[in-house]
Structure 1
């Protein structure tokens, strides 16, 4: 089964371009609240776009003047994120999917002396994902290694119905790596950059999203 094409938000002009530009702007980045808020806004916009793909059922709602018929989500998705950088982006998703349960993953880069690194999973806290739609949101999709590792770990534990991977900024290499290893997953991103540094930072990217949102690590 061929992998689906990624959804790239900034291919269509919208107010989201302003939020993305502010995230990238090194002077505006000094305001941590604004940095987190712009991630949250973009998370909400992608949540709205993903919501168009979900299953819906017809429901009747009693108003003060009569009955309205509306299509409501048949089931809430599960919203997952990789801590800590993805937390503000995750908040944007649960602002929209406000009845959805969440899953959290802790992972880190184990760096070797030569600069190479591997991704190590520490802990997964998740509801039962069997038969559920899973949305994994992380600010940066760089190499794609961590997202692939997390997805495969969760897919080994649960029979997941559909997997959506959402990122603010993705690298071209990362997207292709995810599509090759998780062809059934759908990728949603606000922008795609072509380059990465030797330390796997996306260029032009926006820098270290975790540090910019929550302060530098010791």
Structure 2
């Protein structure tokens, strides 16, 4: 897997990452969602450099000009519910893309430290020969993304696969490396060192879904 860690170079992205981490800013859920969306836009811009381009003739009011535009058939797939703001940011840039949505959540078993990934709702177009972009703001254990990837297999084999995440943990990144094709690309804004005993990223930011949309009842 090819890892593109945008935190290795300073940019305005650092400001948005700092704000989604900051407990003094997190109580503003609208700002949290907007910052995740802006992170998605920046990651989408960087990802666009890896797409295939073709030359097109464009007619302006004064003349005709040749320009390079992406030719990939893109499908954006986000994991509900935390992935929605990140999805919106990517959709701002890949506005002609098709879209897929999947619910993959942690179902806790006998104790809070033990869980399995449950996939329920799934809506997806044909993926055959297309560029698949999987969006999930938090790459913790990596199990949700792998479960999503496997759930999408009946919809066809994409030509390219890209993973987009705001913050990840090294164990989760390594898990993806061991379970996804070698030519997969990961576009990520920051990678933290570790996970706690509940599988949350440390230092991370907490529960992205709750911060974006409010606390949920556990069942």
TM over 0.5: yes
TM-score (norm: length of structure 1): 0.96
For 2:188 and 2:146, how far apart are their aligned partners in 1? 16
| Alignment root-mean-square deviation, CA | 1.0
Unaligned runs of 5+ in 2: none
Mapped contact 1:58–1:70 kept (Cα < 8 A) = yes
Partner residue, 1:197: 196
Normalised to the residue count of structure 2, the TM-score between the two structures is: 0.96
Tell me the distance in 1 between the aligned counterparts of 2:180 and 2:154: 13
Aligned to 2:206: 207
Q: Residues 127 and 157 of structure 2 are in contact (CA less than 8 Å); yes or no, is this contact kept in structure 1?
A: yes
Q: Does 1:7 align with 2:1?
A: no
Matched, 1:48 2:48: no
On the 8 A contact 1:76/1:97 being kept in 2, the answer is no
1:137 correspondence with 2:108: no
- Correspondence for 1:97: 94
Assess if the C-alpha contact under 8 Å between 1:77 and 1:133 holds in 2.
Answer: yes
Which runs of structure 1 show a deviation greater than 3 angstroms over 4 or more consecutive aligned residues?
A: none
Deviations 1:115-145 (A, max 9, x none): 3100010021011111000000101000000
- Please say if residues 59 and 70 of structure 1, whose CA atoms lie closer than 8 Å, have aligned partners that are also in contact: yes
Report if the CA contact (8 A) 2:79-2:135 is conserved.
Answer: yes
Unmatched 5+ stretches in structure 1: none
